[in-house]
Structure 1
């Protein structure tokens, strides 16, 4: 399954390790890693399937159950630009900038990116078919609307879509039916 991500502004997936002069640095060799993409989709699935953590684990894996799916890192059709942005920390009481709290962070400007979710192992014995897995994965991808850090400051707004399967009314109906059936069969 190929996922296309369209960016509505810059994003930052920071490494957690500063560089000289940069407080929030990005990994220029891997701007949007596979682990981040899987985490975004898993979080989306958890929000779309509240109360069904075992269904999410069935598709995305968990501590006792590896997933049969593998994520690629994002590929950018056009060379993204990495820019530096300065920001300040504000005092909650006064609303003024705190002394010695000027931070520099890198942000990535891109139009779009693509990544793949591919099956790398046989599906386990399960009531879920590969098409059921793909329905969960495609709906989870469509539910991703932001990535990276500083999302409340306007960074990382995105739209994700898949071509095969397409998230249309029929796929959403399949997803809803799957969630309802799973909830009925696995209620404790």
Structure 2
């Protein structure tokens, strides 16, 4: 499955480390890691399938079995008319919640990435697990993955401050009425199954 990400502004997936003068840095060799993309899609699946953790685990893996799917890090489009991603620095201050004013000595600098679009793939790399619930074939897995990808609308840090707004468009399969019907029927089967 291929997923195209369209960015509606800058984003930041920080490394957790700083460097002199910068409090939050990005990995310039891996701006949007595979682990981040998998986590975003899993979170989206959990929101789309409330009360069905075993279905989410069957697709994304869990303590009893690994996921049969592998995520690749995002690739930024070489032929993108907007050009390659640009890393810039943004300053922000920490506010005193009571006074509504900037706190002294709380000026922070963080890198952010400006890009137009990127693409990543999710590929099957292992056998589909036995679920102990309703049949979950490859098409069912792909329906969950595609809907989970389409449900991602933000990524990275400081999303409440306007960073990381995105649109994700899966292909192979594309999210259309047929796929949405399959996804809904699958969720209904799992809800009605006693062991799901």
Q: TM-score, normalised by structure 1?
A: 0.97
Query: Where does residue 97 of structure 1 map in the other structure?
Result: 102
| 1:170 and 2:183 aligned | no
Match of 1:107 in 2: 112
- CA distance in structure 1 between the aligned counterparts of 2:115 and 2:99, rounded to whole angstroms: 36
Q: Hey, what does 1:118 align to over in structure 2?
A: 123
- RMSD over aligned Cα atoms: 1.0
Tell me which residue corresponds to 1:54: 54
Please point out which of 63, 86, 89 is paired with 1:84.
89
Tell me how far apart the structure 2 counterparts of residues 156 and 72 of structure 1 sit (CA, whole Å). 19
Task: After TM superposition, list the pairs within 5 Å mapping 1:34-45 onto structure 2.
Answer: 34-45=34-45
Q: Could you list the runs of 5+ residues in structure 2 that have no partner in the other structure?
A: 78-82
Query: What stretches of structure 1 move > 3 A for 4+ residues in a row?
Result: none
Matches within 5 A, 1:177-188: 177-186=185-194
Between the two proteins, the alignment pairs up a number of residues equal to 188
Q: Give the conservation status (yes or no) of the 8 Å contact 2:154–2:166.
A: yes
Instruction: Note the C-alpha offset of 1:187.
Output: 5.2
Shift of 1:162: 1.2
Per-residue deviation, residues 2-42 of structure 1 (Å, max 9, x unmatched): 00000000000001111111001101110000000000000
3-state SS, counterpart of residue 23 of structure 1? coil
- The one-character-per-residue Cα deviations of 1:55-104 (angstroms, maximum 9, x if unpaired) are 00000001111000000000001410000000000111111100000000
SS in structure 1 of the partner of residue 149 of structure 2: helix
In structure 2, C-alpha distance between the alignment counterparts of 1:187 and 1:151, rounded to whole Å? 37
Query: Which residue of the partner structure matches residue 147 of structure 1?
Result: 155
* Residue number in structure 1 paired with 2:80: none
Question: Offset at 1:170?
Answer: 1.3
Distance in 1 of aligned mates of 2:18 and 2:101? 25
Secondary structure (helix, strand or coil) at the match of 1:38 reads: helix
Residue 135 of structure 2 corresponds to residue 130 of structure 1: no
Would the aligned equivalents of 2:69 and 2:122 in 1 still touch at CA under 8 Å? yes
Q: Which position in structure 2 is the counterpart of 1:73?
A: 73
Match of 2:169 among 161, 172, 183: 161
Query: Distance between the aligned counterparts of 1:62 and 1:162, measured in 2?
Result: 24
